[in-house]
Amino acid sequence: MNASQLVQSVIEAPQFLSQQVLLIEKLAIQDATALVSHLVQAFHAYQLWPQDAACLIAACRPTDEQLLQLLKDERERCQKLGLHILAQLIDAYHFQQQAHTDLAIVVLSLLRTEVFWPRRKYMRSLEAWAKSHSFPGDAPPA
């Protein structure tokens, strides 16, 4: 099954999300990260619910560059997707094995904007992760 077919199966049968996540997790890292752009494209086309897209993309083990692209996007919807993906990744063993300073700095910056300020209480674990992974001098001013 190629990337397009997998994404299409997710779109057509969202009730099988957990099985599709397991399938993605079994893929080689290169194959899984290659799916990210296809899933983001489906998200942009409103073919995937935000939570489903976040769950599937997190299973793909996205690179920091892929996550930064979402977080730095000018559209709030993309930024939220990036934050939801990160919230799912912060407890994953493979994610904890690397430093993610750039991601942490961008997350702190986003959480301090007016758009995300009211929702910040729902993102406490993500905020705590970002604070612990950014260097004190790197954090943007509050």
Cβ atoms of 53 and 39 within 8 Å: the answer is yes
Which positions ≥6 away from 22 have C-beta within 8 Å?
Answer: none
Region 57-80: mean pLDDT is 94
Summarize pLDDT for 83-108 with one digit per residue, the tens: 999 999 988 877 877 788 899 999 99
How far apart, in Å, are the Cα atoms of 68 and each of 41, 72, 91, 139? Answer: 16, 6, 18, 16
**Would you place residue 63 in the very low, low, confident or very high pLDDT band (cuts 50, 70, 90)?**
very high
Percent of the chain with pLDDT over 70: 88
Distance CA 111, CA 127 (A): 7
Distance CA 68, CA 13 (A): 29
Q: What is the pLDDT of the chain when averaged over all its residues?
A: 84
